[in-house]
Amino acid sequence: MTMDLPRNLVPGTFIRRLNRFAALMDVGGNEVMVHVANSGRLGELLIPEHTMWLSPVDSSHRKTAFDLALVQMETNLCSADSRLPNFLIEEAIRGKHIHEFCGYPDIKREVSYSDSRFDLFLKNAESHCFIETKSVTLVENRIALFPDAPTSRGTKHVNGLIRAKQEGYRSAVVFIVQREDADMCRIQEESDPDFYHALSNAMQCGVDVYAYSCRVSLTDINISKRIPLVEI
């Protein structure tokens, strides 16, 4: 399932990050503030003088006139928008392009369970399934790495999925690598031991864990293949 990107992407050059959700870019010789819809560190993407692809937006009610859409890597593009994985996995499931989640005609977004809110809730006559997606952008030596910074929110989600699994629901964590140059995915214990151990516990409890890479172009993005998770 392919998701179209905005047709009017504008090239810009990264100058510096201002805060978690804003960066300064050079666009046509002018310095402009750009919204970054990703709270990760993105040290491997946001490099001074590197080319970024920006999506113009209506700035009448916001401080920024562009959203950061893509980052031009040496040999490929990387989507930097952490909001996209939810839509990518949902559309892939609806289109029956991911066999791990086939057979669920009822799909809902942002469903609460206990003290957690999960990205997707799937339902059929035999099974109810909660899915939490995680955006991955860091790749080293063709290995996708997550997280790139501590994620207490991610740990809470994983613990919530464990509870749901123990109470009879199917539960799954799905890592969406928003680039195509990854052959496998590894969970970085050194970046967040709590998340690492929570996910390890989740897998032992029967929570499903999957990782997929994406094909990214200047016009669209789609989930291209499932990649293995390095054993934890």
Model pLDDT for residues 72-95, shown as the tens digit of each residue = 999 999 999 999 999 999 999 999
Cα–Cα distance between 224 and 95 in angstroms, integer?
Answer: 14
Query: How many other C-beta atoms are found inside a 10 Å radius of the C-beta of residue 134?
Result: 23
| 87, 184, 199 from 232: Cα distances, Å | 27, 13, 8
pLDDT reading at 195 higher than 80: yes
The single residue listed with the structure tokens 């970054």 is 36
CATH number, span 2-76: 2.40.50.580
Pick the CATH number of 84-227 from 3.40.1350.60, 3.90.700.10, 2.102.10.10, 3.40.50.720: 3.40.1350.60
3-state secondary structure of 137: coil
Closest CA to 78 of 135, 130, 120, 150: 135
Whether the model pTM is above 0.85: yes
Query: How many other C-beta atoms are found inside a 10 Å radius of the C-beta of residue 48?
Result: 9
**pLDDT score, position 8:** 94
According to DSSP, residue 88 is labeled: H
> What is the torsion angle, in degrees rounded to the nearest 10, for the CA atoms of residue 141, residue 86, residue 40 and residue 177?
0
Asked whether the beta carbons of 25 and 54 are under 8 A apart, the reply is: yes
Query: How many other C-beta atoms are found inside a 10 Å radius of the C-beta of residue 31?
Result: 11
According to DSSP, residue 229 is labeled: B
Query: What are the domain boundaries of the chain?
Result: 2-76, 84-227
Pair of tokens at residue 97: 């392009």
Residue-wise pLDDT tens digits, 90-117: 999 999 999 999 999 999 999 999 899 9
Pair of tokens at residue 79: 């989507």
Cα–Cα distance between 83 and 93 in angstroms, integer?
Answer: 17
Closest CA to 122 of 140, 136, 109, 112: 109
Residue-wise pLDDT tens digits, 28-59: 999 999 999 998 899 999 999 999 999 999 87
3-state secondary structure of 203: helix
pLDDT reading at 182 higher than 90: yes
Asked whether the beta carbons of 66 and 54 are under 8 A apart, the reply is: yes
Asked whether the beta carbons of 135 and 84 are under 8 A apart, the reply is: yes
